[in-house]
Amino acid sequence: MTDDTLYPVPDAWARHARIDAAKRTALYDAAAADPTRFWLDQAQRLDWLVPPTVADESSFDEGDFGIRWFGDGRLNVAVNCTDRHLASRGGDTALIWEPDDPAGTPRRFTFLELHQHVCRFANVLKDQGVAKGDRVTIYMPMIPEAAFAVLACARIGAIHSVVFGGFSPEALAGRIIDCDSKLVVTADIGRRGGKTIPLKANVDAAAERAPSLETVIVVRTAHDVVPMTSRDIWYDEATALVSDSCPAEPMDAEDPLFILYTSGSTGKPKGVLHTSGGYLLWAALTHEWCFDQRPGDIWWCAADIGWVTGHTYILYGPLANGITTVMYEGLPNWPDASRIWQVIDRHKVTTVFTAPTALRALMKDGDDFVNATDRSSLRLLGTVGEPINPEAWRWYHAVVGEGRCPIIDTWWQTETGGAMIAPMPGATSLKPGSATLPLPGIVPQLVDEKGAVLDGATEGNLVITRSWPGQMRTVWGDHDRFFQTYFTTYPGKYFTGDGCRRDADGYYWITGRVDDVINVSGHRMGTAEVESALVLHPKVAEAAVVGMPHDVKGQGIYAYVTLNAGEAASDDLRQTLRSWVRTEIGPIATPDAIQFAPGLPKTRSGKIMRRILRKIAEGDTSSLGDTSTLADPAVVDDLVANRVA
Ligand code: WTA
């Protein structure tokens, strides 16, 4: 799986990059020598109403636990993304929107136009009574209005909670209730891969379970009229009545910017909270460090704004840096596997940033779909979301980039706000499958199960020992859960949940999650969430879910299901359970394999031994390890015999 071939920095990059090897060393040195000075210097890239005089005031220790950056600074995030560019480049393109349908018409917005749209959306929100600190749920397709809504919240100090448009009404309702949001922004329908998604109808269904919901703003995208209720407002009607200027709310650096729900090992998804100053700095800084973007570049992050990648690298990072950002409504391989490359040609994209799962799917369809396109505008290729297998890396490099574009593999998490371990194109030699080296100011460690620090070339669990500006601040409504989840496994350190190898050159190779989180197509899914959905079905007594290797998705979902007494296993029931989970959570949570199991391997104290279930799902049944502590070792034989291939 590993490939130690070194890809040196191409000459052109070494000569022209903003950060070359010497400058990168200087950044590391400065960050180590005087962190406060270093971070306050970096913070100057933002426009502050009141510049901060303090940097890191965080502690990972139980006694004085808390994450706090630039505590006395004041700024507005939306002002940093639009207003401050108006004088110098108000007429430059800020946002290019590419529709799902290749025959459709792209939309373009200058920084001035973006600014006006954001102000209008902000005024509509204000007219609905939204004020600083209120939570606004955004359940949108990938259309420009989604960007306007997000930035409008930032402008007036409302906290946005974007919920991926692929989530079910049930999942949406849970997220509305958790942060007690009274207003949802949605669209009549969404479009993806030629199919429509009934977003407004989903919101109606969610509203039945979420009584706090008072208002729904509906963006019209189709001619067909969706049924409206007394809660609903058409955005086009509301926006016609408001002005295109709106004062920006002055915010403390530590005022919340957004909540984003993400899956963990246990329980319900948690609301990861990011704040204004530190998050925006980390978004902008990492976007520049890793991607060396400059005015004139056309940047395309092919994620969905429902995930953190979309927040940081479709919107906040590039817009804060004044870079043109592309937003694409559809799928990379629809109508066919050339589509992603055609979009690059159409808009002369200079950097594309996508996920290994997309690359593996495109690779399967063969090189002809790539070779049929030009791609000469590309100078950099990015990847994120899961470990990239060296084969996909080499294909991306050789076929897509024709050998001339460095691959920027960025390791990070919803919790980290932006990239943490990643190359700088003008300074870092690359190895296929390695996210390379920590960014300046980031201090990772590898530790063993007991927390002992492992030095040199080694493999262990990845922790971060010092705070950084983009670190999440809390779990919405449950600060104790934040502390318990991330800072108690290895006291005094932030535990990422990832396993990792470090080679003799100090390069980091993420090996995947070591907790009960599965990474399906670069999307995080908690095994506990899928299990709770399964046991809600009246025929299911018990369920245990683990990850299994999957060619395209990276990991697939393997579910062991014990039925209630008297219920018969069948292929029909398997299908029923699959669609049951889709309805409860969303298509991304659909189990790839369901094995009916009369019993699950449990210890005498009743704990399910997932290690064994993982091995069976992986097809690795020769080394199941010690099963003598099981209450009934015979269940293992049955599981092995009836494994679903
Ligand atoms: C995984 C996505 C290897 C990792 C930004 C992490 C990666 C989880 C990479 C976070 C990468 C993300 N190489 N693994 N370049 N990027 N991961 O919160 O397991 O959706 O913990 O954030 O994805 O997923 P999340």
Per-residue model confidence as pLDDT tens digits over 468-509: 999 999 999 999 999 999 999 999 999 999 999 999 999 999
- Ligand 1: residue whose CA is nearest its atom 15: 411
Cα(21)–Cα(19) distance, rounded to whole angstroms? 7
CA dihedral 328, 331, 332, 335 (to 10 degrees): -110
pLDDT at 545: 96
Using a 6 Å cutoff on CB, does residue 414 contact ligand 1?
yes
Task: Give the CB-side neighbour count of residue 5, counting CA atoms within 13 A.
Answer: 9
* Whether residue 555 has its Cβ less than 6 Å from ligand 1: no
Q: 435 CB less than 6 Å from ligand 1?
A: yes
Which atom of ligand 1 is least distant from the CA of 307? Answer: 20
CB 554 within 8 A of CB 513: no
Does 98 carry a binding-site annotation? no
Is the model's pLDDT at 580 over the cut of 80?
A: yes
Which two structure tokens, joined as six digits, stand for 492? Answer: 């005094």
> From ligand 1's centre to the CA of 576, what distance in Å?
31
pLDDT value at residue 604: 87
CA dihedral 60, 64, 69, 70 (to 10 degrees): -160
Contact at 8 Å (CB) between 472 and 271?
A: no
Q: How far is the CA of 435 from the centre of ligand 1 (A)?
A: 11
Question: What pLDDT does 250 receive?
Answer: 98
Q: How far is CA 539 from the centre of its chain?
A: 34
23-80 pLDDT, tens per residue?
A: 999 999 999 999 999 999 999 999 999 999 999 999 999 999 999 999 999 999 999 9
414 is in an annotated binding site: yes
Residue 44's CB is within 10 A of a number of other CB atoms, namely: 11
- Which residue has the least CA distance to atom 13 on ligand 1? 387
**Ligand 1 pocket member 350 (CB < 6 A):** no
In ligand 1, the atom with minimum distance to the C-alpha of 497 is: 21
Phi, psi of 261 (to 5 degrees): -80, 135
- Here the tokens at position 46 are 């933002």
Q: Return mean pLDDT, the chain.
A: 96
From 301, 309, 411, mutation site for ligand 1 pocket: most ligand atoms within 8 A of C-beta: 411
Where do runs of H (alpha helix) occur along 163-312? Answer: 169-178, 199-209, 235-239, 277-291, 308-310
Question: What is the predicted pLDDT for the residue at 607?
Answer: 86
Q: pLDDT tens digits for 233-267?
A: 999 999 999 999 999 999 999 999 999 999 988 78
Residue 371 assigned as binding residue: no
Pocket test for ligand 1, best of 524, 525, 555 (most atoms within 8 A of CB): 524
pTM of the model: 0.96
184 is in an annotated binding site: no
Q: What is the pLDDT of residue 265?
A: 81
Distance 573 CA to ligand 1 centre (A): 33
> What's the CA gap between 637 and 644, in Å, rounded?
14
Identify the pLDDT of residue 2: 65
CA-CA distance, 16 to 26, in Å (whole number)? 17
pLDDT band at 377 (very low <50, low <70, confident <90, very high): very high
Task: Using the mean position of ligand 1's atoms as its centre, give its distance from the Cα of residue 263 in Å.
Answer: 12
Q: What is the Å distance from ligand 1's center to 352 Cα? A: 18
**ipTM for the predicted complex:** 1.00
For 121-168, the pLDDT digits (tens) are 999 999 999 999 999 999 999 999 999 999 999 999 999 999 999 999
Percent of the chain whose predicted confidence (pLDDT) is above 70: 100
Give dist(CA 67, CA 56) in Å, integer.
8
Residue 1 has pLDDT above 60, yes or no: no
**Whether residue 462 has its Cβ less than 6 Å from ligand 1:** no
* Residue 293 annotated as lining a ligand binding site: no
CA distances from 245 to 123, 145, 239 (A): 8, 17, 12
Helix (H) or strand (E) holding 116: helix 111-127
Does any ligand 1 atom lie closer than 6 A to the CB of residue 418? no
pLDDT at 624: 85
**Residue identifier of the C-alpha nearest atom 1 of ligand 1:** 386
Determine whether the annotation assigns residue 345 to a binding site.
Answer: no
Separation of alpha carbons 624 and 347, rounded Å: 52
Q: Name the residue with tokens 């002055």.
A: 250
The annotation status of 513 as a binding-site residue, yes or no, is yes
Using CA atoms, how far residue 267 sits from 78, 271, 530, 576, in Å, is 34, 12, 10, 24
Task: Give the Cα separation of 301 and 49 in Å (integer).
Answer: 30
Q: Report the nearest atom of ligand 1 relative to the CA of 510.
A: 3
Q: Is 513 in the pocket of ligand 1 (CB under 6 A)?
A: yes
